């Protein structure tokens, strides 16, 4: 068993959070972190901010960071961290369903089939989760 700090792997953790994980999981996390760093360096080195057929997120990063204004970039990063904190404040089921629907792009029907619940239950969890996130964000401003 290995003890890791989740803050090193996930940008939305703003405080240190230590957990124990198996060696295999730690190895996969380190490999993913190395892959992400390499991908970022390759993107920057090749100036590959757009592509017609890449489908690997390069286009998204170019659109998100298309400004040279450091204040705007900082504001976008802070907004991203606030959204991640709001998502982490939800109960596990709501967070997982919102993540699958909005971030991974799965339909409510696909989520319901994967979890073995009704599509209506998924829809209600997503609606309540988004309302809770909105309330969280309003209270933190």
Taking only the tens place, the pLDDT of each residue in 49-74 is: 555 555 555 555 555 555 667 888 78
| pLDDT in the model for residue 49 | 56
Return phi, psi of residue 65, to 5°: -110, 45
| Over residues 87-92, mean pLDDT | 90
Measured CA distances, 67 to 57, 64, 71 (Å) = 17, 8, 10
Over residues 40-44, the mean pLDDT reads: 77
Residues spanned by the domain of 109 = 70-141
Are 135 and 74 in a shared domain?
Answer: yes
Q: How confident is the model at residue 37 (pLDDT cuts 50, 70, 90)?
A: confident
Q: Are residues 18 and 49 in the same domain?
A: yes
CB 97 within 8 A of CB 125: yes
Does 75 share its domain with 61?
A: no
pLDDT at 79 (0 to 100): 87
Q: Which of 66, 81, 103 is the last residue of a domain?
A: 66
Q: Tokens 């959070």 map to which residue? A: 17
* Residue 135 pLDDT > 90: yes
Residue predicted with more confidence, 57 or 78: 78
Does residue 60 share a domain with residue 78?
Answer: no
Q: What's the domain count of the chain? A: 2
Domain's final residue, options 37, 66, 95: 66
Judgement on whether residues 60 and 74 belong to the same structural domain of the protein: no
pLDDT at 130: 93
**What ranges make up the beta strands (E) of 1-141?**
2-5, 18-21
CA nearest 119: which of 132, 135, 108, 107? 108
Q: For residues 61 and 126, state if they share a domain.
A: no
Is the same domain home to 94 and 57? Answer: no
pLDDT, the chain, mean: 83
Domain boundary at 15, 46, 66, which?
Answer: 66
């Amino acid at each position: 068993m290995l003890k890791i700090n989740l803050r090193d792997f996930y940008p939305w953790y703003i405080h240190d959070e230590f957990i124990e994980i198996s060696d295999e999981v730690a190895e996969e996390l380190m490999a993913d972190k190395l892959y992400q760093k390499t991908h970022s360096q390759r993107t920057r080195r090749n100036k590959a901010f757009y592509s017609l057929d890449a489908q690997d997120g390069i286009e998204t990063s170019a659109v998100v960071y298309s400004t040279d204004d450091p204040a705007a970039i900082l504001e976008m990063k802070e907004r991203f961290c606030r959204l991640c904190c709001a998502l982490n404040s939800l109960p596990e089921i709501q967070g997982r369903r919102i993540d699958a629907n909005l971030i991974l792009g799965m339909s409510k029907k696909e989520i319901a089939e994967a979890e073995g619940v009704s599509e209506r239950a998924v829809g209600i969890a997503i609606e309540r989760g988004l309302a809770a996130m909105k309330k969280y964000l309003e209270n933190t401003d």
